[in-house]
Structure 1
Amino acid sequence: MALLPAFFRPTRMTRRASRPADPPAAGDEAVLDAPDERLSPALVAAGRGEFGAASALLATTRAAAEWEDHDRYARRLAAFARSRSEWFEAWRAAAPDDPDVALVAAQLAVDRAWPSPARAELLREVSPLITAAARADDRDPVPWRIALDHARGSRAGHRYFEELWEAAVRRAPHHYGCHVAALRYLGTSWHGSHRECFDFADLAAQDAPADSLVQALPARAALSYLTDGCGPEVPRERLEAAADRAIALSGRFPAATPWPAEIRNKLVYVLARLERWEDARTQLRLIGPYATSFPWDRFSDDPLGRFLRLREALLTTAPGTTVTELLAAPARPRNEHRGRAPAPDH
């Protein structure tokens, strides 16, 4: 595939991360897509029509180059603005030149266009907003992640996508959101090309620091393969290695906290499909009460209910028919941006 070589950039860094506490019991309660302690006050304030906390949060993460958090918070704030936009319109009127206003506006426009049958045409009209966000702060890779998603949705050509990709990795070589966007583009443009997707994901993970979220990219490729049912078979050992990488990454983060749950929920699905029951149970305990819509909304319009039923089946009974049914891939994969605001999917 001509697209793949341009994705591989020799950039290596090393950092150390703290070890997690002992996993707590899963308990009976669970919440869906819970915000973390930094995002929650911003959402509460936005619910009152106030934008100051959201503005401060994005400004802080941008100034500190906390690009993973910056991306995650921009997504969640745009999703909130999709259903309750008064606070965002007030922010845009008060600070029209704010780079974070431009960023949220671009994400919001993409989110609104995505569910439409005329997605490609509507997304082309969004391009100026993404360009404005990219120009507002040249360091920020998040507008380029939005541009990569936009290119996939508007069915842009491979050469144009490679140009966007090179611009994104110049700003943040190991930004997980950009890597997920590239992986999705590969899977969409060459449906069933799971081996090529694994090649990209594996090389990206090998090049990334041990505590980078990119270490979870092969498991993301495994999830896509296991729910697709299309293309040539991927060797079992490759799926196992992807799961092992994600397990090692999960072990670096605190237990029962919201944002690592986004990685762990996807990992539980992969481990259960591989019938690695004890490893799946360990991840469920690390998840604690924090369920995420993705991947469970691929199988049900009630993702929290699907998560709870799977958790109960894995933690309280021997795996059997019930687990198999709960893990069954849909006959036709659900649209990742259905009619409601998209949940975070990193």
Structure 2
Amino acid sequence: MISTVWRILTRQIDPNPAQDDALLREACTQARYGSDIGPARKALAATRDDYDRRARYVRVLAESTARGLGSRVDRTTGRVDTTDAWTDRWASRAPADPDAQLVRARSLMARAWEVRGGDWASNVRREQWAEFHRLLDLARQVNDVAMRLAPADPTPWAHRLNLMIDESAPLEDVEETWRELTKRDPRHHQGHVFKLTYHCRKWSGSHEAMFGFARSVAATAPTGSPLLVLPVRAAAEWALWEQDREPHGGTAEEIGERWRQDPVMQSDLDNALNRWFHQPAARHADWLDDANFLAYGLVRTGRDAEAAPVFASIGRYVTGVPWAWWGDERHDAVFLRARRRALRAA
């Protein structure tokens, strides 16, 4: 029965993080299963003037090393192997290649999170924390190498910002890194998402700081910019916190109703829908990720008919976040139910 349901699901969705990028999918497959890093090297070399695509390629390639991590844990020490993943071998063979060092740094961060898990901090065991921080320390060292090898590249600065989230770094240190990142690319998409995450209440901030940052960025973003979706991402973070952490926050349905009744959050959705989604601008590297957030915000607030064209554009490419944040069901089942509801309303 389970296998039948899974076959039905896989015909309707495609959770591959490379999504519809055939070049990236092939690079991931060859590097991880074929031991051929040539396609990954070629794909990354083509992104050196497209920083958003570069950040995405580094992330997706690196995170392929985290899946199936249990087989690479030393049973004696409890430590994760950091020498035998394809990213480790590539970086070892090419110590002066910034692409190799970047991907290895990000892969170490991905492995750290695989060890820690996605649960709230209070539920993480002491030994998980120890290995998490060991891997992040190594990631920081490797990322610093990438930074020195490619001083004009914003990608290692975005990685440094991400590491600062993990360690709840002081705001003044984060702002210094932020200045260096935006000096290299003022509208770096992944960097803005990381800065938003830092300001989230679940990390180092508050709802006010998070929404303040997201809306200030969106207010100056040009029509067609993916940064117009940033306040919708903030609202999804707000809903997660209120639903899971606030003693009297409410059920998922109650949180959705509060979201629906808030005129400012509704204006944020309008802005993303009209000034970003409905614009003819070319799709940016993380377009499908942003579209998943927009569809999520629309259906959670009962705007099902407006979500239908967003779902149609997403097609099969579901993302785990934010759909995993809506109740206790599998994210793919939540996505499919929401999509059916939207298409019926259209």
2:38 paired with 1:52 = yes
Which whole-Å CA distance do the structure 2 matches of 1:82 and 1:242 have between them? 34
For residue 75 of structure 1, report the CA deviation from its aligned partner.
Answer: 0.5
Instruction: Give the counterpart of 1:289 among 288, 311, 316.
Output: 316
- Alpha-carbon deviation of 1:148? 0.9
* Aligned twin of 1:185: 198
RMSD between aligned alpha carbons? 2.9
Counterpart AA for 1:250: F
Matching residue of 1:75: 59
Q: Deviations over 1:131-158 (max 9, x none)?
A: 1121121121111111111111112111
Matched residue, 1:130: 143
Matched, 1:226 2:239: yes
More divergent stretch after superposition (239-248 vs 46-55): 239-248
Task: Report Cα offsets for 1:12-51 as digits up to 9, x if no partner.
Answer: xxxxxxxxxxxxxxxx722113251231221232221100
Confirm whether residue 210 of structure 1 aligns to residue 193 of structure 2: no
Asked if 2 retains the 8 angstrom alpha-carbon contact of 1:121 and 1:154, the reply is no
Cα distance, 1:72–1:139 mapped onto 2, change above 3 Å: same
Over the matched positions of the two proteins, sequence identity in percent amounts to 30
Partner of 1:303: 331
Name the CA distance, whole Å, in 1 between partners of 2:280 and 2:129.
Answer: 40
Residue in 2 aligned with 1:102? 101
Contact 1:257 1:290 in 2 (8 A): no
Closer/same/farther in 2, CA of residues 300 and 55 from structure 1, 3 Å limit: farther
Name the amino acid aligned to 1:117. W
Q: Larger relative contact order (C-alpha < 8 A, sep ≥ 6)? A: 1
- Equivalent pair of 1:82/1:112 in contact (CA under 8 Å): yes
- Alpha-carbon distance in structure 1 between the residues aligned to 2:280 and 2:104: 31
Q: Which moved more, 1:37-46 or 1:178-187?
A: 37-46
Matched, 1:159 2:172: yes
Between the aligned partners of 2:313 and 2:226, the Cα distance in structure 1 is: 17
- Unpaired segments ≥5 residues, structure 2: 1-10, 69-83, 117-127, 250-257
Q: d(CA) in 2 for partners of 1:97 and 1:279? A: 49
TM-score (norm 2): 0.75
Amino acid in the other structure paired with 1:112: R
Unmatched tracts of structure 1, length 5 or more: 1-27, 319-346
Residues 142 and 283 of structure 1: CA distance in aligned 2, closer, same or farther (over 3 Å): same
User: How has the CA–CA distance of structure 1 residues 123 and 139 changed in structure 2, closer, same or farther, with 3 Å as cutoff?
Assistant: same
Which residue of structure 2 aligns with residue 344 of structure 1? none
1:29 equivalent to 2:28? Answer: no
| Cα distance in structure 2, aligned partners of 1:256 and 1:201 | 21
In structure 2, the residue matched to 1:117 is 129
Corresponding position: 1:260 with 2:304:
no
Q: Deviations over 1:127-186 (max 9, x none)?
A: 211211211211211111111111111121111111111111111111111111111111
Contact 1:257/1:287, CA 8 A, preserved across alignment: no
Structure (1/2) with the larger helix percentage: 2
Contact 1:256 1:287 in 2 (8 A): no
Distance 1:55 1:210, change over 3 A: same
Q: Which residue of 2 aligns with 1:315?
A: 343
Cα shift at 1:92: 2.4
Between 122-131 and 85-94, the greater mean CA deviation after superposition: 85-94
> 1: CA distance between counterparts of 2:184 and 2:211?
24
